[in-house]
Amino acid sequence: MLKCSLITPIFIGCGEEYTPLDYYIENNIAHIVDIEKALEVLGNLKSIDEISDYIVKKSIGNRVETNAKDILERVGLCAEDYVVYKIKSEIKEDSRTRVKKFIHQNNRKYIPGSSIKGAIRTAYLFNYYDGKISEIFKILDNKKIDNKGKEIERRAIGDIRDDFFKYLKISDSIKLEREEFKFILTKRWHIKKKKLTIPNYLEGMTKGEFIINLKVEEEFFKELNNRLNKNFNPKNDYEKFEIIKELCNNFSKTVVDFEIKRDLPIILKEFYEKLKKDIEKNDAIYINLGFEGGFLNKTIYPLLWKNDQNNILFHKIRQFFLDLYKPKGKINPRNPQYKLYQTWQNAKSYLDFPTTVGVYVKHNRISSPLGWIKLEKVN
């Protein structure tokens, strides 16, 4: 059993959103409304048509300049009577924006075990290729391989039938009633321009703890020994935890070291300096989860930086990405792929990419990065 504590807010999405027709905000509380139920109760076609016409009138493209309370009060209904859920909000009351929903099932939010498993899997890939990035370059240089990322993973783990992560079992955490969820704002900090850009509105978990069950079968460590050239022989759950901790923290420490080297705002530098000291205590597992974990935390990019800090091989990496994102046909300056191409044209070292980082914004100021959690072994 593991106790997971939030270090920074996390968001794990489900692909759904609250639209302005689903909520209204008063006194820093978002009220989620069941507007369909209200319309059923209304049962008046004339009023329903009036609502429909009003929504169309208030719509500009994908943006709706009204909210659930305004709509219901126009036809004489009390919005409070149809509120099904309330949540603290750091979004302004006059906001008319879509808010991404936290993953849920049967109206209960939860942390998927697969998300934590994915973070451990990424840490394993990092450890597998650490010290032998020549294997990665062979894959990147092979023009016959279309999906480079998938091939990098396949060579380290094997095909689906050989995937030894099936021996690593992690439960979902479904008891999150005491944890604090809020409507929050995140933005991208542009490192070169030194300003915040691209807002995202999320239903985020901002603080709290949750419990998961971790079960690791013996076959998992046999495969680790074969693939990492190790001699792991855990005798109990504590020793199994220690091995997983070594894999994860080796990766997380490199990510943190990379961020410390970058030209980030002081508040982020201080956060990563403290996080590095916490990781070095070696008393828990530190991983990054969910939305805005970022390019670094999801790929082998920090591995390349770690093994090539003198930038001897950087030109090869740069050329690979230039070839990958090179525009075909007429250039569209707004195309995200073209923007990535321009970024790599201007990159002179690993530290120049990515050009933005996702941050949690509170009171119009950067508060922290997102997605960092701490996992501790409990009896």
Q: Model confidence over 280-330: pLDDT tens digits?
A: 999 999 999 986 555 555 667 888 899 988 888 898 888 888 888 888 877
Number of folded domains that form the chain: 3
pTM above 0.85, yes or no: yes
Give pLDDT, residue 205: 95
In a domain, 125, yes or no: yes
| pLDDT < 50 positions in the chain | none
Give pLDDT, residue 178: 66
Alpha helices in the chain (DSSP H): 35-42, 45-57, 68-74, 113-129, 134-141, 148-157, 218-228, 237-261, 266-280, 294-298, 301-307, 314-325, 336-346
Give pLDDT, residue 127: 94
Give pLDDT, residue 292: 58
Q: Write out the residue range of the structural domain in which residue 65 sits.
A: 20-93
In a domain, 102, yes or no: no
Q: Are residues 151 and 291 in the same domain?
A: yes
Q: Are residues 89 and 159 in the same domain?
A: no
Q: Are residues 69 and 48 in the same domain?
A: yes
d(CA 20, CA 5): 32
pLDDT in tens, 112-162: 999 999 999 999 999 999 988 888 888 888 888 888 888 888 889 988 888
Q: Are the beta carbons of 86 and 36 closer than 8 angstroms?
A: no
In a domain, 105, yes or no: no
In a domain, 177, yes or no: yes
- The number of angstroms, rounded, from the C-alpha of 235 to the middle of its chain's C-alpha atoms is 34
In a domain, 99, yes or no: no
Q: Are residues 225 and 275 in the same domain?
A: yes
Q: Are residues 117 and 50 in the same domain?
A: no
d(CA 60, CA 78): 26
In a domain, 98, yes or no: no
